Structure 1
Amino acid sequence: MVHTEMRRMGIMRFLQLVICLLLSMAVFHGCMGNDDASIQLNDDVLGLIVFKSDIKDPSSYLDSWNEDDNSPCSWRFIQCNPVNGRVSEVSLDGLGLSGKIGKGLQKLQYLKVLSLSHNKFSGTISTDLGLIGSLERLNLSHNSLSGRIPSSFDTMNSIRFLDLSGNSLSGSIPDDLFQTRSSLRHLSLASNSLEGQLPSTLARCSYLNTLDLSKNHFSGNLDFASGIWSMRRLRTLDLSHNAFSGTVPEGVIALHNLKQLLLQGNGFSGPMPLDIGLCPHLNTIDLSYNLFTGPLPDSLQRLNSLSFISLSNNMFTGDFPLWIGNISNLAYLDFSSNSLTGSLPSSIGNLKALKYLSLSNNRLTGNIPTSLAYCFQLSTIHLRDNGFNGSIPAGLFDLGLEEIDFSNNGLTGSIPRGSSRLFESLQDLDLSRNSLQGNIPAEMGLFANMRYLNLSWNNLQSRIPPELGLFQNLTVLDLRNNTLYGAVPGDICESGSLAILQLDGNSLTGSIPDEIGNCSSLYLLSLSHNNLSSSIPKSISKLSKLKILKLEFNELSGEIPQELGMLENLLAVNISYNQLIGRLPLGGIFPSLDQSALQENLGICSPLLKGPCKMNVPKPLVLDPDAYNSQMGGHRQRNESSNLTRFHHHMFLSVSAIVAISAAILIVSGVIIISLLNVSARRRLAFVETAMESMCSSSSRSGSLPTGKLILFDSKISPDGICNPEVLINKAAEIGGGVFGTVYKVPLGAQGRIVAIKKLVTSNIIQYPDDFDREVRVLGKARHPNLISLEGYYWTSQSKLLVTAYAPNGNLQTKLHERVGSVPPLSWSNRFKIILGTAKGLAHLHHSFRPPIIHYNIKPSNILLDENYNPKISDFGLARLLMKLEKHVISNRFQSAVGYVAPELACQSLRVNEKCDIYGFGVLILELVTGRRPVEYGEDNVVILSDHVRVLLEKGNVLDCVDLSMGDYPEDEVLPVLKLALVCTSQIPSSRPSMAEVVQILQVIKTPVPQRMEIF
């Protein structure tokens, strides 16, 4: 028994020991588990603290992030998963943070949302972000991030929302980025500098709802192979403002859920897909600024949800659609700048929700339908540059319109009076260049918010309503070329906001009111071609912002107030054909006025004028009595017939006039004879070229030469083949070369027609014949007297040639910097002709094409000269033919065009635009005026021409830099031209004028004959 009891107690003790051991182990493991959790929580704290260490936080938003805390879940802008206590969301949007997105975040292994948008983060995107496999939403938009999209992003398999827009990312999209992206719902890479073609793997994002790639440099054709048009769940597709090309294929119906289609600002061509109307949910379509052609598809009328459609700046043709009234929800309609014909249907009045209507710059005719007044929500209506006739529907002036532009049509009748609703809403009214008659309604003075009023070039017959001075916000008042009579109202500038006042070309009488000095904001005052009398008021000297003053062809008398010389901003003055006398003001622009701005007055004292100097004293000193009497006789005749004196200043024909008329007759006869000879010559050339094409086609068919295609734009026969291009070039003389290739002078055909052929570099050239053909034809449409015309091209996979007109006088580089001793230097008249002509050519490229054609390489070697030294710009738009535009152009231009490159191009992430051309043009002006190169290297220093001239201008001796080899020059032209050049070479792109403004300024500097002068 004792043994048994002892055995039992031993077993009990053993069991107790075992239980204690198990409990101890459990406690031990429990403690170990708590340590693991603590370690994991500390990973989140550590990761966020490391991330914070690279951030600048000026507003101390992240002060609550304390490294001594055991958990970050109580920190601001942090959210944690309630189950495991780990960080699931970091949202720091719009806190003004800067610095780098550095390491540390990869430790947040349970992070689902990372949003850092609208801050100032810079540098590259860390590849460590790709290590956060749990990430579902990543938003880094609107920062200053640069570099490429990390290839490590292809490991984020759970990502649903990715937004990298509004940065400076560059390069192409990684090919594998969309390899396993079936979860992706939203993708935005907009407003970066990404380039190249879209990866084919993008089509694997089958659940994508939003795709925004706008405002980049993407290129390539988007056919069905790209996969874009098969993404059936897409609701928003934004590819706008890129360089995509090709046609939009039939089959858009596959995008059944699409709501927004935004393709504006690309190079898409061909017709609009006929089945576009089979996408029933579409509410927004923007295809503007492309190359679409053909009529509008009838299927559009089936889009009952459509509220916004813009097809502007394309080449659509055909009649304006009669079914437009069927799209009842339409609020925004813009078909401007196409070639639509026909008339507006009355059904347009069914668009009750319409707010914006722009049909400008088409070929529409007929009356403006009265039913348009049924569009009660309408606020903007633009119908300018069409062929509308009839009267303006009075009902339109009962709507709450804000902008009305009916300019440059054939409208007749009177201006409707308007309603109280219009008085409160209307801001811009442009009825210019029509045939409107009657009075200017006095009710116009009730337009409380009017900013712009243009009634010029009509047949209005009335006084200027004094109520126009009541406008509180009016900045532009243009009443030119009507039949207005009476006096200029004294309170015309009562509001003080007027910047442009143009009343020229009317029959206004009386004096210029002294109250004109109240126009404190005025920078253009034009009162020319009226019957204004009395003296020029001194109060004009109060207009400190005034830049242009036109008073020519009036009856103004007396002396010019000396106070006008204090107007420092005045750039142009014309006071010719008046009865003014006395000295010119000593200051400002007056000492530099030329003869055309002063001629035909009673006695202005100027060495430029041959007539007498008549002072306002009892006994005037007359140096040439005969000249004085002749002048007085001329003015008596002018007073007797004031209407005739506007256009005929002498009642007899002088000997010089007879000589001029005889010369004109000879010139006209010569032009007619030469034109007839040209017609005959063109026929012979067409025969020769056809024979050559036939010969080359047979050679190509024999198999001995590579097949090619010569396209001559001015030929009625489109050849199918041509001989080996080396045959042509071997006969030619090399005359130049540059970034884009080598240029040869070539006799074409048996008649020896001389053309220039540029053999393009083959690297980076567009590889597909159709794309090359399309781009070259766009350049071929750029016809202007100051552009070298593109006549055709030749294509093979090995050679690409451009055929252009030949300029016999070489290029400006040779005439300016490489002149041999026997060749005379360029005169100032020729230099100014080159400056103005080059400006006109560039203005045509910038303002007549959408998107604008940018030259990229303005320099003297690209300015060719014809036999009369008229400039012809060459090489324009050739960068359009390059597949990788930025890399090629920027890397080569810095090497080949030192001194001409705009400073902002040192940052390769910036897109080249028109301002870069304007900078190069400014340098070109400086070269022509100074005769020096843009950069000159001395033994101890480097002279930058623009900086050198700017320093001389600040010292007041800028004329010391003028090229003396050109002989005599007018200082009053050279000085403002130099100032213009310095404005064009401003370091800040936005401070440079547009080319249209440059042309306008140059025309003001070189004041033409008064009868032809019209600055604005």
Structure 2
Amino acid sequence: MRSLFVHTVLLLLVVGQVRSLNPSLNDDLLGLIVFKADIQDPDGKLESWNEDDNSPCGWMGVRCNPRSNRVTELNLDGFGLSGRIGRGILQLQFLRKLSLAKNNLTGSLAFSLAQLENLRVVDLSQNNLGGPIPGNFFSQCGSLRSISLANNKFSGHIPDRLSSCFTLATLNFSGNQFSGLLPSGIWDMQGLRSLDLSSNLLEGEIPKGIEGANNLREIHLEKNRLTGEVPAGIGNCLLLRSIDFSDNSFSGFIPSTMQMLTLCNNLNLHKNSFLGEVPEWIGDMKSLESLDLSENRLSGPMPISLGKLQSLKLLNLSKNSLSGSLPESIINCVNLVVVDVNQNFLTGKLPSWLFGLSLQKVDFSENNLNGNIDASVKSLTDHSRRSLLVLDISNNSLTGEIPSALGDISSLQYLNLSRNSLTGGIPDSIKNLKALDVLDLSNNQLTGSIPMKIGDAVSLRKLWLEKNFLSGDIPASIEKCTPLTSLILSHNSLTGSIPVAFAKLTNLQTVDLSYNKFSGTLPKQLANLAHLISFNISHNQVQGDLPAGGFFNTISPSSLSGNPSLCGAAVNKSCPAVLPKPIVLNPNSSDSNPDSIPVNPGHKKIILSISALIAIGAAATIIIGVIAITVLNLRVRSTTPHSAAAFTLSGGDGFSSSPTSDGNSGKLVMFSGDPDFSTGAHALLNKDCELGRGGFGAVYRTVLKDGRSVAIKKLTVSSLVKSQDDFEREVKKLGKIHHRNLVALEGYYWTPSLQLLIYEFVSGGSLYKQLHEVSGNSLSWNERFTIILGIAKSLAHLHHQNIIHYNLKSSNILIDSSGEPKVADSGLARLLPMLDRYILSSKIQSALGYMAPEFGCKTVKITEKCDVYGFGVLVLEVVTGRRPVEYMEDDVVVLCDMVRGALEEGRVEDCVDEKLRDKFPPDEAIPVIKLGLICTSQVPSNRPDMAEVINILELIRCPSEGQEELV
């Protein structure tokens, strides 16, 4: 490609001489060859472009004038091209249409297409082009009729010179990052028929003079930051057919001049701040097919004139403060498909006449409707039974029984009758709803049992029946609802045992059976539900042991509480046929290990069961390992004086090292510099210089002769059964990993009985101390956010190097003098002889609460997603200031479960560290908490990767980048 480019450039250098011989041949052909040299063509779409041809008119995507043989059209839409748009295009002096849409082109528009005097149509949409538009881009556009730069990454202001393009009919700059005001002279383009500037960052008011754009057919300004009132002059644009000003901050009243727009078929003012009533004159816009005035501040009754809109298909007046009832005149809107009036103050009964229309969606939720719905549904016509897809009348004051006629709506996909005062039973006719995807009858006063043939509703994905008075067993036929992902039956009086049929619902993710009267044991087959993330059976009469494996190895104790006959590790109660556990850990022991789990100091004799994260069988391995570590450490201490005293230095190739023939001497390697350890070596024997102990060994601070401090980790021998060659190979790999948020590994020392890792010394202490031990001034919200983002960046860097940390916890996060976090112990698990999950568990058991659930399940592979889980716990710890696991007098509080419960109850703000008081932005803190919960998903594949986490965090901190905030 490079040689081709050079060749074509040389040809262009003599183009002046060639042009005199045959300009019609060479200008176009050479221009296209130069254009091709600037792009990549992975799919080979431009293989027919051969520089040896006499004419380009037969090339793919090229059209010529049959008389002059000059190129008039270049259409390469969807060719999969990448690279930049080069200046070769400027050779096509007779080009009338340039269309390069739906490719992967990058770069900016470095030159003006105005040099192509015959150019009429430009379409560069759906690429990755960016940067500002050059000021001279529209300096000469006398022939330009249509330009589209939609869905790229252009930024900056829209050039004022645009207004000089008097012949421009279509302008589409949507889906970019343009900012600032609309050009003041934009309406001077009197030939403009279609204007689309939607989905940008534009602000300010609509410029005056819109009445002059009397050829305008479409105007789309949605999803910007525009303010002020809509100018009354818009009513003079009598040819307007589509107006979309949604998702802005327009205010004032809807201008009455709009009633003159009798050709308009689409009016969308959704999500603004318009005031007043829905105007009576709206009925004069008789061509309207779609009317969306939702999410404004409109009040009062709806006008009877809505019935004049006989072409109307969509009516959306939701999320206002409208009162009264839906005008019966709407029965004249025979083409109506959608009626959405949710979240208003409508009263009266559900209109029966409404069901005589062929509607697809009816949403009256969150109003003040009352009365019986049976009479309303009886008005269903045969056609409406086949057309209605969505019926939502939830959160009203409706009474009476659920009409069996609902079962006749064969097309129904979504039925929500929740939060009313409905009585009676669930009609058997529900079984006829073969297309039903969501059924929500929760928060009513329903009695009786779940229909025996509920399984005939074979498309059900969500079944919510909680907070009723239902009784009886769960029908075994539910096994036929194989798409079911969410089953919520809590707060009823259901009895019997949990059916084995659940095991056939392989898509189940969330199950809540709490506060019922279920008995018996849980079927062991439930352990095979691979997608399960929540299973709540609290406050029932379930007994026996839990299913072994899968989700149930890590089930939250709060999901099991209130079942006194349940036994097993998860409820810290031995089953009668199972021997007691051979080991327990006391979290209030006097161990000086700073990595141990922190507890409330006033409580004693609390037993901690670690089986929630580590299989019970591993306990015996752990205790044997502890004994072995103790014995080997005693041996290490006896050899330390000799080994430490043997430090010497000599030059090396790229490293500083000290091999010696003395049996008691070792090999010291520094990755940079030439420090002298003759002073610091003795500090290894001084208990006063010890900084802490963890799963891989003790850490000491040593001061070198040049005054520089380093941290030395003395590894426990039992953690290193690798050979010296293996050890050195892995450590050197770790020494090459550098990141501002990782503690730098500066060197190592090796003897068969003593291994040391030499790290940079970080003076600010650990994140654990900052959060849980430092009194007085606590970390501010900005400091906490910086810490979270820094940890995320360090993990992303590690994962990019194919290194899993395995041992994330707040005591392994150090804070430097500038407040930046530095992650310690990165990659130390690579020094183990094998990455066996039980060996890992024994090494990092002090990280209980941070460990991903897959550590307890042999069938789930350990990947980077276990770091993501630990990161999620760290996020919650940083925001809440609480430890991952806290031990009360007679309870254990797991941070993830506590925060998740608070979120479900709508009080997540209460979880933010009380030390911050009101000194935190909720619009940042709440999304960060939600991100932490997403990262701690029970299913690894549901967790984002760290690169995605960084993008989300940066979006939370800077939501002005034109995207939605995390919700």
Listed as ranges, the matches of 1:348-427 within 5 Å are 348-376=330-358, 378-392=359-373, 393-395=376-378, 398=381, 399=384, 400-418=387-405, 422-423=409-410, 425-427=411-413
When structure 1 is superposed on structure 2, of 378-387 and 345-354 the one drifting more is: 345-354
Cα distance change, pair 258–959 in 1 and its aligned pair in 2 (3 A): farther
Q: For 2:478, what is the secondary structure of its paired residue?
A: coil
Indicate how the Cα distance of structure 1 residues 951 and 289 shifts in structure 2: closer, same or farther if over 3 A, else same.
farther
Distance 2:323 2:552 in 1: 50
| Cα distance in 1 for residues equivalent to 2:486 and 2:548 | 22
Rate the CA distance shift 1:120–1:345 in 2: closer, same or farther, 3 A. Answer: same
Instruction: Show the 5 A alignment for 1:577-726.
Output: 577-585=562-570, 607=607
Deviations 1:307-349 (A, max 9, x none): 0111111111111222221111110111111111111122222
For the Cα contact (< 8 Å) 2:484–2:507, is it kept in 1? yes
Deviates further, 87-96 or 319-328 = 319-328
Aligned equivalent of 2:481: 495
Q: 1:468 to 1:84 in 2, by over 3 A?
A: same
Structure 1 residues 993, 381: CA separation in 2 closer, same or farther (over 3 Å shift)?
A: farther
Cα displacement (A) at 1:55: 1.9
Alignment-derived partner of residue 163 in structure 1: 148
- Native 8 Å contact 1:404 1:430 kept in 2: yes
2:791–2:822 contact (8 Å) kept in structure 1:
no
Residues 817 and 931, structure 1, Cα contact 8 Å, conserved in 2: no
> Are the equivalent residues in 2 in contact too, given 1:560–1:585 (CA < 8 A)?
no
Look at both structures and tell me which one has the larger radius of gyration over its CA atoms. 1
Does the CA-based 8 Å contact 1:985-1:992 persist in structure 2? no
Question: CA contact under 8 A between 2:538 and 2:558: conserved in structure 1?
Answer: no
**Residues 144 and 390 from structure 1, CA distance in 2 versus in 1: closer, same or farther, beyond 3 angstroms?**
same
The residue correspondences of 1:39-50 to structure 2 (distance < 5 A) are 39-50=23-34
* Residue 253, structure 1, aligned to residue 235, structure 2: yes
Q: Does the CA-based 8 Å contact 1:986-1:992 persist in structure 2? A: no
TM-score if structure 2 supplies the norm length? 0.62
* C-alpha distance 825-249 of structure 1, shift in aligned 2 (>3 A): closer
Query: CA 1:259–1:947 in 2, change beyond 3 Å: closer, same or farther?
Result: farther
Which residue does the alignment assign to 1:435?
421
Q: C-alpha separation between the residues in 2 aligned to 1:166 and 1:80?
A: 29
What is the CA–CA distance in structure 2 between the aligned matches of 1:271 and 1:593, rounded to whole Å?
A: 68
Deviation digits for residues 274-325 of structure 1 (CA, Å, limit 9, x no counterpart): 2212111110011111121221121111111100111111111111222221
Alignment match of 2:329 (pick from 330, 336, 347): 347
Q: Give the superposition deviation at 1:382.
A: 1.1
The letter for the 2-side match of 1:394 is V
Q: Is 1:272 matched up with 2:237?
A: no
Residue 546 of structure 1 corresponds to: 532
The answer on whether the counterparts of 2:408 and 2:432 sit within 8 Å (CA) in structure 1 is no
Deviation at residue 178 of structure 1 after TM alignment: 2.3
Partner of 1:3: none
Partner deviation per Cα, 1:603-653 (whole Å, 9 max, x = no partner): xx99589xxxxxxxxxxxxxxxxxxxxxxxxxxxxxxxxxxxxxxxxxxxx
Q: Is the 8 A contact 1:397 1:416 kept in 2?
A: no
Counterpart of 1:647? none
Paired AA for residue 127 in structure 1: F
Q: Which amino acid aligns with 2:360?
A: S
Q: Distance in 1 between matches of 2:768 and 2:245?
A: 46
Q: 1:435 to 1:975 in 2, by over 3 A?
A: closer
Distance 1:538 1:139, change over 3 A: same
- Structure 2 residue matching 1:437: 3-state secondary structure: coil
1:943 aligned onto 2:822 = yes
Query: Alpha-carbon deviations, 1:3-54, whole Å to 9, x = none?
Result: xxxxxxxxxxxxxxxxxxxxxxxxxxxxx99984723321111111111111
C-alpha spacing 1:262/1:903, structure 2 compared with 1 (3 Å): farther
- Partners of 1:530 and 1:521 lie apart in 2 by 23
Matches of residues 164-179 of structure 1 in structure 2 within 5 Å? 164-179=149-164
Code of the residue aligned with 1:317 in structure 2: it is: S
Equivalenced residue count is 660
Q: Is the 8 A contact 1:414 1:438 kept in 2?
A: yes
Output the amino acid matched with 1:389.
N
Which structure 1 residue ranges, 5 or more long, are not aligned? 1-31, 595-604, 610-812, 832-856, 863-895, 907-925, 998-1016
Q: 1:76 offset after TM fit, Å? A: 2.5
Alpha-carbon shift at residue 87 of structure 1 (Å): 1.3
Read off the aligned partner of 1:535 and give its amino acid letter.
T
Indicate how the Cα distance of structure 1 residues 338 and 903 shifts in structure 2: closer, same or farther if over 3 A, else same: farther
C-alpha displacement of 1:936:
6.7
- Structure 2 counterpart of 1:315: 297
Cα separation, partners in 2 of 1:514 and 1:175, compared to 1, 3 Å: same
- Tell me if the contact between 2:377 and 2:406 (Cα under 8 Å) persists in the aligned partners: no
Contact 1:543 1:567 in 2 (8 A): no
Moved more, 366-375 or 320-329: 320-329
Equivalent of residue 535 in structure 1, options 499, 521, 531: 521
- Determine helix, strand or coil for the equivalent of 1:943: strand
Amino acid at match of 2:189: C
Distance 1:67 1:581, change over 3 A: closer
1:191 positional shift: 0.4
In 1: Cα distance, 2:380 partner to 2:950 partner: 39
CA distance in 2, matches of 1:897, 1:125: 39
Structure 1 SS opposite 2:240: coil
Using a 3 Å threshold, how does the CA distance of structure 1 residues 973 and 579 change in structure 2: closer, same or farther? closer
Secondary structure of 2:155 counterpart: strand
Instruction: Tell me the secondary structure at the aligned position of residue 83 of structure 2.
Output: strand
* Residues 981 and 271 (structure 1), Cα distance of their counterparts in 2 relative to 1, 3 Å cut: same
Report the Cα offset of residue 529 of structure 1. 1.9
Q: Secondary structure at the match of 1:859?
A: helix
CA 1:580 to 1:41, structure 2 compared with 1: closer, same or farther past 3 Å? same
Which one of 941, 946, 949 corresponds to residue 987 of structure 1?
946
| Gapped regions of structure 2 (runs ≥ 5) | 1-15, 576-580, 587-604, 610-764, 797-807, 851-873, 900-928, 937-942, 957-967
Q: Is the alpha carbon distance of 1:593 and 1:341 closer, same or farther for their aligned partners in structure 2, counting shifts above 3 Å? A: farther
Match of 1:973 in 2: 894
| Cα distance in 1, alignment partners of residues 816 and 360 from structure 2 | 54
Q: Which residues in structure 2 correspond to 1:283-298 (within 5 Å)?
A: 283-298=265-280
SS at match of 1:159: coil
- Paired with 1:175 and 1:951, the residues of 2 have a C-alpha distance of 60
The Cα RMSD (Å) is 4.3
1:909 corresponding residue in structure 2: none
- Deviation >6 Å, runs of 4+: 32-35, 586-594, 815-822, 900-904, 933-938, 945-954, 961-968, 975-979, 990-995
Where does 1:764-779 land on structure 2 (aligned, <5 Å)? none
Q: Can you list the C-alpha shifts for 1:645-702, whole angstroms capped at 9, x where unaligned?
A: xxxxxxxxxxxxxxxxxxxxxxxxxxxxxxxxxxxxxxxxxxxxxxxxxxxxxxxxxx
Alpha-carbon spacing, 1:37–1:200, altered in 2? closer, same or farther (3 Å): farther
Q: Secondary structure at the match of 1:261?
A: strand
Measured against aligned partners, the alpha-carbon deviations of 1:701-745 in whole angstroms (never above 9, x if no partner) come to xxxxxxxxxxxxxxxxxxxxxxxxxxxxxxxxxxxxxxxxxxxxx
User: Which one has more relative contact order, counting CA pairs under 8 Å at least 6 apart?
Assistant: 2
Contact 1:499/1:523 (8 A) holds in 2: yes
Which residues in structure 2 correspond to 1:503-902 (within 5 Å)?
A: 503-557=489-543, 559-561=544-546, 563=548, 567=552, 570-571=555-556, 573-585=558-570, 607=607, 823=775, 859-860=782-783, 899=789
- Return the offset for 1:68: 2.1
What corresponds to 1:231 in structure 2? 213
Structure 1 residue 934: Cα displacement: 6.9
Q: Percent identity?
A: 32
1:408 maps to amino acid: N
Q: Does structure 2 conserve the Cα–Cα contact (< 8 Å) formed by 1:562 and 1:585?
A: no
Change (3 A) 1:69 1:588: farther
Letter in 2 for 1:183: T
Q: Distance in 2 between matches of 1:62 and 1:90?
A: 12
Report Cα offsets for 1:72-131 as digits up to 9, x if no partner.
Answer: 222232222234332111111111111111011111111111111111111112305231
Of 450-459 and 32-41, more deviation after overlay is shown by 32-41
